A and B are shown apart, each in its own frame.
Chain A
């Protein structure tokens, strides 16, 4: 099965700085990679996703890069704000059939005002 590893587990940055979270996956058949933001006791919220046919995707201050050869993908948040503080999860899934998401272990991001 798929194994998704995520680093770092905690990350503190000053407001305005950038934050980078990295994930690796093991199953080369995985081709859908979403990132979720989860606040305490709430449902995960999709913030950005990328499919294996592209290498990079950007949405305002958030970007994701994918290296299929190395089987790793990263989340980049620029100009961080205190409201970006949350736990972020990466995930991987296969496109065919009804496949569940395999989640990384999460990164607790703290943006210091």
Chain B
């Protein structure tokens, strides 16, 4: 139980275009999801906390207009990287907190902007 499905696993896009990443909780309801970014050989850095039915809470230094988060249902949160640039290339991963305070992670999305 407590599976988070994340898509796509890999995406290559051109500079200036937008990319949407989806995270779905498959067998539980996730009122809160977390979006992380991970640079090569680095730790996971929290970008934002996604709350169902309300605005996301962004960490300091994260541009909310660039990284749009939508959490319209209890099972789906999306991260859209708008007007992507090469510096946005990274590994993006979501996670959800389950009822027993454990966290489950999506499989991650490797974004490459060319």
Contact = CB atoms under 8 A, between A and B. Distances in A.
A100 B91 contact: no
B contact face: mostly helix, strand, loop, or mixed: strand
A46 B103 contact: yes
Contacts of A103: 43-45
Interface residues of A, number: 21
Contacts, number: 49
B83 to A, nearest CB: 25
B105 interface: yes
B110 to A, nearest CB: 7
Interface residues of B, number: 23
A34 B105 contact: no
Nearest to A95: B101
Given A46-B102, A101-B95, A41 B43 contact: no
A101 B91 CA distance: 17
A61 to B, nearest CB: 21
Contacts of A93: 101, 103
Interface string B74-105: 00000000000000000101010100011101
Contact of A43 (B32, B41, B45, B106): B106
A111 to B, nearest CB: 18
A82 interface: no
Nearest to B38: A38
B99 to A, nearest CB: 11
Contacts of B93: 43-44
Interface of A: 32, 34, 41-44, 46, 49, 89, 93, 95, 98-106, 108
7 contacts: A32-B101, A34-B102, A34-B103, A100-B49, A101-B34, A103-B45, A106-B43
